[in-house]
A = this chain, B = another copy of it.
Amino acid sequence: MIIRPAQPLDHTAIWQLLEPMLREGETYALDRDLSREAALAYWTGADKLTFVAESDGAIVGTYFLRANQAGGGSHVANCGYLTEPQARSKGVARAMCLHSMEQAHRRGFRAMQFNLVIATNEAAVRLWNSLGFETVGCLPGAFLHPRLGYVDALVMYRSLGPA
């Protein structure tokens, strides 16, 4: 598997990952009916660096990296990751997160923050924990899960030491 910057030619593959995630609405706080155009504008926007994970010529994951805030908060990075369903539990998200931390550190970011990790998404929480992220906040009922109702969301954070 290689992880490389996304190109316009990857947009079809990225949309194929984005669409089911959006329609399910269980992991990201994004409008469930976002169009292809709006979703790609979000995921690959000018405020972000977007990468894809490619395995045997197929896109099995994608992530973006951006500054979480402007001004005095611009040294903290934020990322969003998405893995092809059939490629889950195969280390794709872990590889993308490690890649993103290295990229962020190289670009001068001093920390990384996830603003809204759905607390019921135990696999994600466990993965971020194993990669050094700490739960620094809990937002009670901050996410309306389509199946579970109002669930808590976590703020997770880690500093980015030397690469």
Contacts and interface: CB of A to CB of B under 8 A. Distances in A.
A142 B111 contact: yes
Contact of A155 (B72, B110, B155): B155
Interface residues of A, number: 37
A94 interface: no
Nearest to A69: B29
Interface in A103-144: 110-111, 113, 115-116, 118, 136-144
Contact of A138 (B26, B72, B73, B136): B136
B136 A74 contact: no
Interface in A137-157: 137-146, 150, 153, 155, 157
Interface of A: 25-26, 28-32, 69-76, 110-111, 113, 115-116, 118, 136-146, 150, 153, 155, 157, 159
20 contacts: A28-B71, A29-B70, A29-B71, A30-B71, A31-B70, A32-B71, A72-B118, A72-B145, A73-B144, A75-B144, A76-B139, A110-B141, A111-B141, A111-B142, A113-B139, A136-B138, A137-B138, A137-B139, A137-B155, A140-B157
